Copies of this chain bind each other. A is one copy, B any other.
Amino acid sequence: MTAADPDKTPPDSPEFSRHPDLEWRETVRGSRPGDRFVRVARHRDFKRLRPGLLVPRPGVGEPRSGLGKILTSVRRAVIGSPLTTAQELEERTGKIKGLAIFATDNISSSAYATEEMMRMLALAGVAALSLTLPLTLAVISVLAVVIISDLVVIRTYPSGGGSYAVASDNLGMLAGLTAAAALLTDYVLTVAVSISAAVAAITSAFPLLHDQRVEIALVVIAFMTILNLRGIRESGSVFAAPIYLYLATILGLLAYGSFLALTGGLPKYQAPAENLAGWGTEPLALLLVLRAFASGSVALTGVEAVSNGVPAFKPPEVRNAQITLITMGVLFATIFLGISFISSQAGMVPDPTESETVLSQVARLLVGAGWYYYLVQFATALLLAFAANTAFNGFPRLAGILAGDRFLPRTFQFRGERLAFTTGIISLSLVSGLLIILFKGSVTSLIPLYTIGVFIAFTMSQAGLVRRWWRLRESEKGWRWRIIINGLGVSVTSVVTVIVAVSKFFLGAWMVLVLMPVLILMMWQIRRHYQQLESITRPETPLAPDKIHPRVVVPIANLGIPARQAVAFAAAISSDADVVGVHVTDDAVTAEGLREQWEAAYPRIPLVIIESPYRSLSGPFLSYLDALMETHPDDTMVVVLPELVPSHWWENLLHNQTALRLKTALLYHPGVIVASVPYHLAQQAEMEASS
């Protein structure tokens, strides 16, 4: 409490009592008669940090009653209490957890890579399945090339070398956007494919659920969306469990199988007659082999995660990331090779109806339908779900970066109450859910769309690096061997891109190839729009207050309280002579009655009555406005609308159509300022109830 001389600072002086800082002074009486103090008071809802700087106190702005409060409670229960920006965690990760975070997406592909190759080969008959193992080795060679190239990327971009960044950095905007479009589609497909594969792992174990696979997948996506809107921390230890569980169970299974195979004890798979009958209609042409190879190259999805995430590693970041990348590659290759090897040895035939996965067949063959079998299926499904989750992390983050570069709407940059990129998360779940519905949750149908984005992104970033080394050939020492490594990378990945695009074109790759240019064009247009916005130079209404001479037009239907509020406001913001009431009518008699009322109420404000012979209201009003703007080119037009705000939605049907139509039409009149003077019917109803 600040005591002051009340006579010196008069308590109701406008400087203090009306400060927009919400600080004001009030006079309080002291304990002795005649004592008066001036107290500096502050508002209970805001804390004033400095003059002109406020912070709302906790809980301010939350709905205090009714539906809003219920909705807020539900939202809090589902996605949690809001987090402040300062609460963001910036935790670094070691190699063990790093593997869990960045390798999940890639290693999870091992659950279906072998199977997808076999499904292609089996189209040429069961005998063609003998090509599974050679093709596996071919894919692993490509993987090796990409991983070696990526080691260079990690070293070159320790701040995180996403394909978008590397490509825009070295090859320009178009290449960057191509990489971005490829990555965005890739993330969407990661969710669709991984969730579908996770559901397939579950329905393999519980065939009764097979017909509900789309519904199950959608529930999983919804659950994942909520988790991500809550802003789950991928650095949490819970994230490490699934991959190590999967590695342990699968490597155990494969070790046991290999032992059986080497000792000659591996059982032969007895394919049901319908499995055999479902296959083998096409000749084993080169196209089919290429398609099988393309399907297998799904093995490379998720490899880019490590090089994107270098800054998340503990120092030495580059070295830790490189070791993680190599470990990931070795583990993946081992599992992939192991599954292909045992499948081939056991004479596995995939199920043409997609009711059971090959991995499930292998596990069932080796260990029977016991606890270990269910453990394998559970670990697989869990890992795949977590793999989908990496896309829930990557997509919104990339979309946020693109929005920051003005290639996507700004809303993708906005982080919600829990610091999650709300728009990105919801967009991802909607699009991937739609894909699952369209493709009926079939991994095999989705695969042709999947791989192409991955390889386009690889090609872009490798090409970017080749360009970079060539550019830096004067200054950088080791540019020669680097250009060789990345040159090999770009050759291999571009060849695979072409193989995937051509061989899978009619199976669905065309969709991605059509969609990508559309996405690129869209992002380019968005940027153009924002740039146009930033280059605004000519104002529509004056930029200096003294240049504004308001000419105020008030459409009048009658002289009820809402209309009189509007006229009063109009007169308050200008002089009476610059206000005009406009009444459009097809009934001259009633109009003259209105004029009499008007002249009695507002003797100094003109009223213009427009007779509309065709009964149209907004048309003549807008024409009049145009005419007025033309005859008063130096004035700033202001239309003051009396607006009724109904207390129930259905009441909107009963009136306001004219006001609404006018408001919409005025949107297309440049330079017209529209002021709505509201009247709330709810208030009126409350007042009536209380009186």
Q: A62 contacts which chain B residues (CB < 8 A)?
A: 619
Comparing A149-157, A313-321, A525-533, the segment that makes contact with chain B is: A525-533
Report A360-417 residues with CB < 8 Å from chain B CB.
409-411, 414-417
Decide if B679 touches A676 in the complex (CB within 8 Å): no
Question: In the complex where A615-B415, A615-B417 touch, is A655 in contact with B410 (Cβ < 8 A)?
Answer: yes
Decide if B678 touches A614 in the complex (CB within 8 Å): no
Decide if A628 touches B22 in the complex (CB within 8 Å): yes
Inter-chain CA distance A265–B564, complex, in Å, is 83
Inter-chain CA distance A615–B418, complex, in Å, is 10
Comparing A47-55, A98-106, A211-219, A486-494, the segment that makes contact with chain B is: A47-55
Q: Say how far A636's CB is from chain B's closest CB, in angstroms.
A: 7
Decide if A56 touches B610 in the complex (CB within 8 Å): yes
Comparing A82-90, A163-171, A477-485, the segment that makes contact with chain B is: A82-90
One of B82, B532, B541, B607 near A685 (C-beta < 8 A)? B532
Decide if A608 touches B687 in the complex (CB within 8 Å): no
Inter-chain CA distance A408–B367, complex, in Å, is 75
Decide if A623 touches B673 in the complex (CB within 8 Å): no
Report A18-56 residues with CB < 8 Å from chain B CB.
18-22, 24, 43, 45-46, 49, 52-56
Inter-chain CA distance A645–B55, complex, in Å, is 31
Decide if B548 touches A562 in the complex (CB within 8 Å): no
Question: In the complex where A569-B673, A609-B54, A655-B410 touch, is A684 in contact with B538 (Cβ < 8 A)?
Answer: yes
Is A263 part of the binding interface, using a Cβ–Cβ cutoff of 8 Å?
Answer: no
Q: Say how far A211's CB is from chain B's closest CB, in angstroms.
A: 33
Inter-chain CA distance A672–B680, complex, in Å, is 10
Contact with B along A641-683 (1 / 0, CB 8 A): 0001100000101110100000000011011111111111111
One of B538, B548, B568, B573 near A543 (C-beta < 8 A)? B568
Q: A415 contacts which chain B residues (CB < 8 A)?
A: 615
Inter-chain CA distance A545–B554, complex, in Å, is 14
Q: A75 contacts which chain B residues (CB < 8 A)?
A: none
Inter-chain CA distance A681–B540, complex, in Å, is 10
Decide if B547 touches A568 in the complex (CB within 8 Å): yes
Q: A560 contacts which chain B residues (CB < 8 A)?
A: 533-534, 536
Inter-chain CA distance A680–B645, complex, in Å, is 27
Q: How many residues of A contact B (CB 8 A)?
A: 123
Q: Say how far A52's CB is from chain B's closest CB, in angstroms.
A: 5
Question: In the complex where A85-B613, A615-B417, A631-B22 touch, is A536 in contact with B679 (Cβ < 8 A)?
Answer: yes
Question: In the complex where A532-B685, A678-B673 touch, is A657 in contact with B550 (Cβ < 8 A)?
Answer: no
Question: In the complex where A43-B627, A673-B675, A680-B540 touch, is A569 in contact with B595 (Cβ < 8 A)?
Answer: no
Q: Say how far A275's CB is from chain B's closest CB, in angstroms.
A: 46
Q: Say how far A691's CB is from chain B's closest CB, in angstroms.
A: 10
Is A626 part of the binding interface, using a Cβ–Cβ cutoff of 8 Å?
Answer: yes
Q: Say how far A343's CB is from chain B's closest CB, in angstroms.
A: 48
Is A561 part of the binding interface, using a Cβ–Cβ cutoff of 8 Å?
Answer: yes
Q: A529 contacts which chain B residues (CB < 8 A)?
A: 651, 654, 681
Q: A574 contacts which chain B residues (CB < 8 A)?
A: 573
Q: Say how far A633's CB is from chain B's closest CB, in angstroms.
A: 11
One of B540, B622, B654 near A565 (C-beta < 8 A)? B540
Across the interface, name the chain B residue whose C-beta is closest to A592.
B53
Q: Can you list 20 A-B pairs with a CB-CB distance of less than 8 A?
A: A21-B606, A43-B631, A52-B606, A56-B620, A60-B619, A61-B620, A83-B614, A410-B655, A416-B615, A529-B651, A529-B654, A534-B560, A535-B684, A535-B688, A541-B677, A543-B568, A545-B571, A548-B572, A670-B682, A673-B677
Give the 4 A-B residue pairs with the shortest CB-CB distance, closest first: A61-B619, A545-B571, A84-B613, A20-B580
